[in-house]
Amino acid sequence: MARGKPTILVGITGGIGAYKSCELVRLLQKRGFRVKVVMTEAATRFVTPLTFRTLTGEPVAVSLWADEPESKVHHISLAEEADVMAIVPCTANVMAKLAQGRADDMLTTTALATEAPLVIAPAMNTHMWRKETTRRNVEVLRARGAVFVEPGTGELACGDVGEGRLADVRIIANAIETEALRSRDLVGVHVLVTAGGTQEPIDPVRFIGNHSSGKTGFAIAEEAARRGARVSLITGPVSLPDPFNCEVVRVQTALQMRAAVLARFDTTDVVVMSAAVADFRPAAMSADKIKKGDAPEAIELERNPDILAELGERGSGVLLVGFAAETNEVVTNAQAKLEAKRVDLIVANDVSDPSMGFGTEHNKVYYVTADGVDETPVLGKRTIARDLLDRVAALLQSRKG
């Protein structure tokens, strides 16, 4: 991640709207950003790299092979330098490549390598924009967190009139600026995230558990780290890889999760308890695997400590976010939890619908605070992570102010 002036990497692809990117580069510079440009070969047919080199005072990357050698692999250094990557204009072809994860030129390779948020401003003929394949690519990229600046309607270069015109460059610049601010709004903040479900052992091979996949918590941890936070992710057993730039602590039981949370609580500014912590554990764990013939008639259970409620009781000033998975009276139950556990924000969702929530990629949530309730549409878990952290950043800001 770049330091100093935020760096916007503008990727330009081969469409007539490429000439408008000159204006966009200027606008971004006026707003205080450092701008670097990467172009596809096709884009250079519309505007020359020299134009952008002159505007930005920076080398323009076009080929994976022909550019001057730099100290680091060029597409990787570009990818790392970017606070935001914006592809303006983005053709249907490049969008399809991005959706598939192809990396066959400098621009798409850099886009695949970067951890920076991606802003995409498509521009193409109306029929191409409306084609089902294009619509699907937009949805795939959106689900991965890309921000789209939708094309406008009007006369197109091909003579058709309809949607497909590159959006107004000021609107594109605004979207880029929003992402750039977001990319640093948690610098200096220590965020502790819990994820996944806990497993409470019955014997060495059996446990009481739940269906939590950990996806939401991992997405929150990853997004918080991307925005500059120091992140500790405490997770129950899940089959997800460690997110980048996070301290990851893998635990099994609620008691282990509690210990890992408390060990870090003193340095923490925000706790997001997205873990599905088991409320009960077997009172005693059998040291050996219980044989079929020896099956007990009942398993005696003991209450697990409520980690979140315990943090709330401390009244420490740490911003506390809880989750509530409900099957009925979603908002009423969440409001009760908000008060009982003394937390600042509850993210509530309805788990009675099998197409959402546990294990799926999507969810519809209610944000419940003392000030009221906000309901979202069905969103991807990455979008929920972003939206939630926007709220966390705003709450932290309002506390400072």
CA angle 7, 13, 18 (to 5 degrees): 85
Closer to ligand C5P by Cβ: residue 139 or 329: 329
Tell me which residues touch ligand C5P (CB under 6 A).
Answer: 254, 273, 275, 277, 279, 304, 306-308, 322-324, 337
Q: Which residue reads 């886009």 in tokens?
A: 111
b/e map 237-257, b = 16+ CB within 10 Å: ebebeebebbebbebebbebb
Annotated catalytic residue within 22, 90, 158, 246:
158
Report which residue type is found at 136: R
- In the complex, least distance from residue 340 CB atom to ligand C5P, rounded to whole angstroms: 8
Q: Which residue reads 């949607």 in tokens?
A: 163
Closer to ligand C5P by Cβ: residue 125 or 304: 304
- In the complex, least distance from residue 366 CB atom to ligand C5P, rounded to whole angstroms: 14
- In the complex, least distance from residue 266 CB atom to ligand C5P, rounded to whole angstroms: 18
Would you call 22 a catalytic residue per the annotation? no
Closer to ligand C5P by Cβ: residue 156 or 231: 231
**CA dihedral over 124, 129, 133, 138, signed as positive or negative:** positive
Reported in sequence order, the residue ranges of 186-338 that DSSP labels E, i.e. its strands, are 190-195, 200-201, 207-208, 230-235, 246-250, 270-273, 280-282, 301-303, 319-326
CA distance 155 to 226: 39
- In the complex, least distance from residue 354 CB atom to ligand C5P, rounded to whole angstroms: 19
**Residue 172 in contact with residue 35, Cβ under 8 Å?**
no
Closer to ligand C5P by Cβ: residue 177 or 306: 306
- In the complex, least distance from residue 347 CB atom to ligand C5P, rounded to whole angstroms: 8
> Can you tell me whether residue 370 is helix, strand or coil?
coil
Closer to ligand C5P by Cβ: residue 192 or 273: 273
Q: Indicate the burial class of 61 (C-beta count within 10 angstroms; 0-12, 13-18, 19 or more).
A: buried
- In the complex, least distance from residue 323 CB atom to ligand C5P, rounded to whole angstroms: 4
Closer to ligand C5P by Cβ: residue 137 or 304: 304
- In the complex, least distance from residue 309 CB atom to ligand C5P, rounded to whole angstroms: 7
Helix axes 20-30, 49-56, angle to 10 degrees: 10
- In the complex, least distance from residue 277 CB atom to ligand C5P, rounded to whole angstroms: 4
Closer to ligand C5P by Cβ: residue 95 or 271: 271
b/e map 165-174, b = 16+ CB within 10 Å: bbbebeebbe
Among candidates 320, 391, 384, which has minimal Cα distance to 356? 384
Closer to ligand C5P by Cβ: residue 307 or 356: 307
Strand partners of residue 342: none
CA distance 106 to 125: 25
Among candidates 197, 148, 181, which has minimal Cα distance to 389? 181
**Residue 343 in contact with residue 308, Cβ under 8 Å?**
yes
CA distance 190 to 203: 36
Which residues are annotated as catalytic? Answer: 158
